[in-house]
Amino acid sequence: MFSDRLDFLMDLADVQNNALARAVSLDASYVSRLRSGQRPLPAKQSYVMPMARYLAHHIKLPYQREAACRALHLEASWPEDEQHAALLLCAWLLGKQLPPPTESVGMLLDRLAMARPAVPPNCRHQQHTAPAQSPPKTRGNVPPPPAVFYYGVEGKRQAALRFLSSVSSCEQPQTLLLFSDEEMSWLTGDPAYTARWATALTEVLAAGNRIRIVHTVTRNVDEMILGVAKWLPIYMTGSIEPLYYPGPRDGLFQRTLFIAPITAAIVANSTNREPDGLLNVYLEGQDALDALVLEFNRYAACCCPLMRVSTSQTFERFWECALELAAADEPLVFVGPAPSLASMPREVAHSISKRRASGKLLQLWEQLASQLEKRTTILTEIFPTHESSAVEHGIELPLGQGLTEGGTRYTPEEYRAHIQHARMLTSENVPYRIHEMPLAHDNILVCASKNAGAVIARLDVPTVVFALDEPGMTNAIWEYFSEHGEENTRTARET
């Protein structure tokens, strides 16, 4: 019952009736009746999600998170992202089925299909291509600037804005070094502050600076994917190098390092994810900055790339990654608005290459077709069934702008021959199958391997390619499309 679940969560989060009532603009006596079951939950209400957000914010300690995971029957760890935690709590309070483990993949694709770079390519300074020279170091008899101390969540907010402002004001572009596994409500808890922070970060990137960031990765794959989705507009600038540490961390002590190597840094520590009242140190002395850069680089040397982002030569980048994944001979899925080059018949590959006077497609086709013949694991293709009028107009070859300027479209005869050949391959002694089904996004191209990696391309201008390497994320993407393909097959059989 709703009342039992609400009572459990309020006890777990140590939240009183009056506190929750103030947070969601209800009377404390009304909350008390909801909690006791004296007042049933109305069919139409607007306060359960705000309640879930407030409770999620107060479920911080390890024992609270473990108890919440047990109550919600979560196999993964409790999400660090409060909005994600709130969605889980809201669904549980209402007795609804919790989001499936791969739902975050759909959310990521939704964001990618609509996202635009935080800084348009033509608005970015190009200075960053030249190596930045450090200013004279504050060594010898020149004292460094004094450190400035900020305290608690509000102090961290002030320090972060000062940090970004100082970077924007610096004439020399630099690569910011960012890491934090501290509790992130200082950034996400106040929408007005989040907007100010995002604007300041956009100005930093527009000034030609770059970012090298180590993301905090837990065993909760959903949380990782949602985190990537939030950063998409920033990633799409091509100015970010994201890393992750693959090993376990103790979770007791947290640390923040925000470093602009020639400008300033923020250093902070916390325990048990409780930052309230704790110290945030803002530094400008070059000796201190050098030491912090050394610390960050030593940690980064133990990390792995979370993803590789390409905003130029996207055709080549996507298919280079796809060839690597196909060569691994692990279960593989291609998803896009048309079948992949792997199933393209020889005559169509030659026809398009000859018509567009480009050898790139033919070279890629030969490699992929050869790999398909050698495969021992299943290659699955998912693509929609197009209306005859669309086929007559000419289906666009995904990422065809990499072949010739202006892109490449199939002739109606070429596309029908490709579809016929793909269907024929499913009946031959080849580890290949297709799912012809509607797609949520016609501007997304995906190649995902069960164990080797995944690459995702956004086909709209500006095109961008994300090559993901973290095993949990890449397997989630593969499972997401595999499940959708199998569900489509089951539905087709039933009807």
pLDDT, averaged per 10 consecutive residues of the chain (495 residues), comes to: 91 93 90 92 85 91 88 76 79 75 65 70 48 46 81 96 96 95 83 89 92 75 68 83 80 89 96 86 95 97 90 83 89 92 92 80 86 88 93 88 70 95 88 89 89 89 86 84 74 60
- Residues pairing with 409 in the sheet: 396
CA–CA distance from 52 to each of 47, 93, 103, 310, 422 (Å)?
9, 8, 19, 38, 48
C-alpha 127/C-alpha 201 separation (Å) is 17
Pairing of strands 210-215, 253-260: unpaired
Domain annotation for the chain: domains and CATH numbers: 2-99 (1.10.260), 118-126+144-306 (3.30.870.10), 311-494 (3.30.870)
Q: What pLDDT does 138 receive?
A: 46
Q: What pLDDT does 374 receive?
A: 86
Answer yes or no: are the C-beta atoms of 225 and 282 closer than 8 Å: no
Q: For residue 42, is the peptide bond before it cis, meaning its omega torsion is within 30 degrees of 0?
A: no
Please name the helix (run of DSSP H) or strand (run of DSSP E) that holds residue 158, with its range, or none: helix 152-169
C-alpha 107/C-alpha 276 separation (Å) is 32
pTM of the model: 0.69
